[in-house]
Amino acid sequence: MPEMNGLEAAYRMSQLAPETKVILMSSYYTDERAVTLNRLFGDGNFMRKSEIATELVPAISRLLSDKNRLRTQGPA
């Protein structure tokens, strides 16, 4: 993307539409980046591309479960 990278796009999306859930996938995953991503997007919403085969479905299930739990509980 010429104007921004994927992390910037995901962050902007989260600011414009907080109800939108994002799962980030990267080949360039470091402990430092994990801390940053966790702070910006929440735990478990990012993964190494090499882990997609085993981690993508559980990550989607967690996001959907969180969304459904918030919907049934109503706003805080």
Segments making up each domain of the chain, as ranges: 6-73
Contact between 46 and 24 under an 8 Å Cβ cutoff? The reply is yes
pLDDT in tens, 3-54: 888 888 888 888 898 888 888 888 877 888 878 877 877 766 778 888 888 9
Q: How far apart are the first and last CA of the chain?
A: 36
Please say if the pLDDT value at position 62 is more than 80: yes
> What does residue 22 show for φ and ψ, rounded to 5 degrees?
-130, 140
How far apart CA 40 and CA 27 sit, in angstroms, is 18
How far apart CA 38 and CA 72 sit, in angstroms, is 25
How far apart CA 65 and CA 62 sit, in angstroms, is 5
pTM of the shown model = 0.62
pLDDT band at residue 67 using 50, 70 and 90 as cut-offs: low
